[in-house]
Structure 1
Amino acid sequence: MLTLDARRSMIATILLGVGMMAAIDEIVFHQILAWHHFFDWSTPAFGLFSDGLLHSAELILFVLGFFMFADLRARQVLDLTHAWAGFFFGLGGFQLFDGIVDHKLLGLHQIRYVDNLLPYDLAWNGFGILLLVIGFVLSRRSRE
């Protein structure tokens, strides 16, 4: 009888979640809406270059997570509940890290350059917290 690998299932999908949320951020907010670049302290050309670096990093994380996930499935040791928890931890972790560290502590960029940032910050970070709570609930449920 195979034992499900909860730890690796969660790690693989944390990577997938981080890669997915970074991709959503980069595609929607950086490219489609053009609200900001990853690094807004310089020229528009450097901002676009920094978006390319972010995109490269998200792809590396996503591919790494995908291969870990595929390996777990192939060996039939994927723990789906831990995998879903990890995915939401990755989504929310990226969102909250970006909102607090990149936006506020480092000031690399803001969500949007408007006079009143508070609604944007609350929505951005609140959504990250919601995703983390979903991950936590799924994680707790997997221990029952």
Structure 2
Amino acid sequence: MALNKQHDGPLVAAGIALGVGLGGFVDGILFHHCCSGTKCSARLPPDTLVAMKVNMMWDGLFHVLTWLMTVVGIALLWRAGGREDVPWRGRTLVGGLSLGWGLFNFVEGLVDHQLLGIHHVHPGAHELAWDLGFLGSGLLCIALGIALVCPARR
């Protein structure tokens, strides 16, 4: 990825941090809570009050980390916006967001779903297909982000 580091780097960094944070929020809210498909610590079946509290604690810590990444992204965006040498391009920011979201999906999917087996996108039948789809969505977001950020594409 050929970045013009003197100009685009701060905006791309802000986008990546925001993308990781927002990607984590969507994952946590949509999959962990709304769809109830998974919890951060799904190895503990929520059949006792203690197990439910442990699961809620891990989900809460996950949300704290995604919130912190979002705050870092906002701070980086604020700094980039105050610099005259950083061109304000929506394409660059959206590319960074897509890169960050894709990195979140790919790393979280690879580590939590495949390597550690902590939880899966949709446990049960076709579990691997759901997990591979999640990894694929991460790679697709990364590819889109590179296409948007790469100066040769402008």
What is the TM-score normalised by the length of structure 1?
A: 0.88
* Cα distance, 1:79 vs structure 2: 4.4
Q: Give CA deviations for 1:80-117 in whole Å, capped at 9, x if unaligned.
A: 24322211110100001111111010112111221221
* RMSD of aligned residue pairs (Cα, Å): 1.8
Q: What is the DSSP-based 3-state SS (H/G/I as helix, E as strand, rest coil) of the residue aligned with 1:41?
A: coil
- Provide the C-alpha distance between the structure 2 equivalents of 1:46 and 1:103, rounded to a whole number of angstroms: 19
Choose which of 21, 24, 28 in structure 2 pairs with 1:26.
28
**Alignment partner, residue 57 of structure 2:** 49
Native 8 Å contact 1:69 1:78 kept in 2: no
**Alignment partner, residue 65 of structure 1:** 73
- Provide the C-alpha distance between the structure 2 equivalents of 1:103 and 1:78, rounded to a whole number of angstroms: 38
- Indicate whether 1:134 and 2:133 are aligned: no
Q: Which residues in structure 2 correspond to 1:1-144 (within 5 Å)?
A: 5-42=7-44, 43-76=51-84, 77-80=86-89, 81-140=91-150, 142-143=151-152
Runs of 4+ residues over 4 Å off in structure 1:
none
Native 8 Å contact 2:12 2:149 kept in 1: no
In structure 1, stretches of 5+ residues that fail to align are: none
Q: Which moved more, 1:41-50 or 1:12-21?
A: 41-50
Native 8 Å contact 1:4 1:79 kept in 2: no
* Cα distance, 1:4 vs structure 2: 6.3
Aligned partner letter, 2:34: I
What is the total number of aligned residue pairs between the two structures? 141
What is the TM-score normalised by the length of structure 2?
A: 0.83
Percent of matched pairs sharing the same residue = 27
In structure 2, stretches of 5+ residues that fail to align are: 45-50
- Provide the C-alpha distance between the structure 2 equivalents of 1:114 and 1:99, rounded to a whole number of angstroms: 16
